[in-house]
Amino acid sequence: PVKSSEQLADYIIQEGLIKLRNPHINEKDEDVLYHIALSNKSHDLKEMFQDIKFVCFGGSPTRMQKFAEYLVTELKVKIPAGQTLSNIAQGSDRYVLYKVGPVLSVSHGMGIPSLSIIFHEIVKLIYHAGCSDVIFFRIGTSGGLGLEPGSVVITDKAVDGLLRPYMELSTLGMVLQHPSNLDQEVTEELLALADPEKDGYSTSVGKTMCTLDFYEGQARLDGAFCDYNESDKMSFLSRVYSRGIRNIEMESLCFAAYCYRAGLRGRAVVCVTLLDRLKGDQITTPHEIMEEWQSRPQKLVCAYIKRKLGIE
Ligand code: R2B
Ligand code: URA
């Protein structure tokens, strides 16, 4: 008989330590984290990562490198003379992984399948390293609904393209549903750190719709294929807006579902909106402005980390 994720959520956190819900891992003498070119045999993962308290995921490798560089300054981390910040996953060219003090900055690529792979490996990394009380973030980009472009949205519920609050995954020929619950407490703490007047842009809490496709999945009219018209598109987007959706992206559902499955209490999704989807489909904002917008979720999460670490 198949158990739901909810039933299986018998958990996990014991004294803050992450416990792996996979008995097979400890039956093997080596666990290879293939896509980040690490293994629990070839590397001393405890020595390398035991002090990790925050894991920040984001889509683009360059953006996550920039975030790591920003953290070096903000957290006043000393890099030993003659050394530079290096990509720990450089033996694989799939993802990047940087460690800055107690923070990991990791790229996840685009879409759920790409995020899913790196998520499995980072959870195992955290487990092998014996980390405790780790908080996971996704800092990303999205299309907004009814918001000024450049606004930041903190996700309170991640839903799929049918507005269902779980991720469906085909496993052993069955479709399993994994609930995508997020953490209210971290969401509220993040919101309290935002100051629209001072920041010059709004930060709000809303539902996020996570789709399997950027074009038709998000009701765009500018893909290679389109079997609907402007009025179909607008009636769909208005309907999801009226159901509380404030932004649309492609990873939050899996991120939230897997954090919950892994028993991670602290977890949050913070995305900047690159355009208002009620006004258009194409992203035409100049590169420099976009760069500044993309740093906004990073600033908020960094402020949160500094607050938790007691850094002014
Ligand atoms: C936001 O931006 C990407 C698509 O452009 C996708 O990864 C996402 O969720
Ligand atoms: N990312 C998305 O998934 N959709 C957008 O519209 C913009 C960024």
Q: What's the whole-number mean pLDDT along residues 132-161?
A: 97
Instruction: Report residue 15's pLDDT band, with 50, 70 and 90 as the boundaries.
Output: low
Instruction: Report residue 37's pLDDT band, with 50, 70 and 90 as the boundaries.
Output: very high
Q: What's the whole-number mean pLDDT along residues 235-249?
A: 98
Q: Which protein residue's CA is at the shortest distance from atom 2 of ligand 1? A: 141
Instruction: Report residue 8's pLDDT band, with 50, 70 and 90 as the boundaries.
Output: very low
pLDDT tens string 103-130: 999 999 999 999 999 999 999 999 999 9
pLDDT tens string 75-113: 999 988 888 899 999 999 999 999 999 999 999 999 999
C-alpha of residue 110 to centroid of ligand 1, in Å = 6
Parallel, antiparallel, or unpaired for β 166-171 and 174-179? Answer: antiparallel
Q: What's the whole-number mean pLDDT along residues 43-66?
A: 97
Parallel, antiparallel, or unpaired for β 32-33 and 38-39? Answer: antiparallel
pLDDT score at 7: 43
274, 278, 279, 284: which to mutate for ligand 2, most atoms within 8 A of CB? 274
Q: Which protein residue's CA is at the shortest distance from atom 6 of ligand 2? A: 143
pLDDT tens string 282-298: 999 999 999 999 999 99
pTM of the model: 0.94
* Statement: residue 16 has pLDDT above 80: no
* Statement: residue 17 has pLDDT above 80: no
Instruction: Report residue 18's pLDDT band, with 50, 70 and 90 as the boundaries.
Output: confident
240, 250, 294: which to mutate for ligand 2, most atoms within 8 A of CB? 250
Dihedral sign from CA coordinates of 262, 38, 114, 170? negative
What ipTM was predicted for this assembly? 0.99
Of 170, 166, 169, the C-alpha closest to 180 is 166
DSSP the chain: -PPPHHHH-----BTTB---S-TTGGGSS--EEGGGTEETTTS-HHHHHTT--EEEEES-HHHHHHHHHHHHHHTTPPPPTT-----TTTTSSS--EEEETTEEEEE--SSHHHHHHHHHHHHHHHHHHT-BS-EEEEEEEEEESSS-TT-EEEEEEEE-TT--SEEEEEETTEEEEEE----HHHHHHHHHH--HHHHSS-EEEEEEEE-S-SSGGGT-S-SS---S-HHHHHHHHHHHHHTTEEEEESSHHHHHHHHHHTT-S-EEEEEEEEEETTT-S-----HHHHHHHHHHHHHHHHHHHHHHHT--
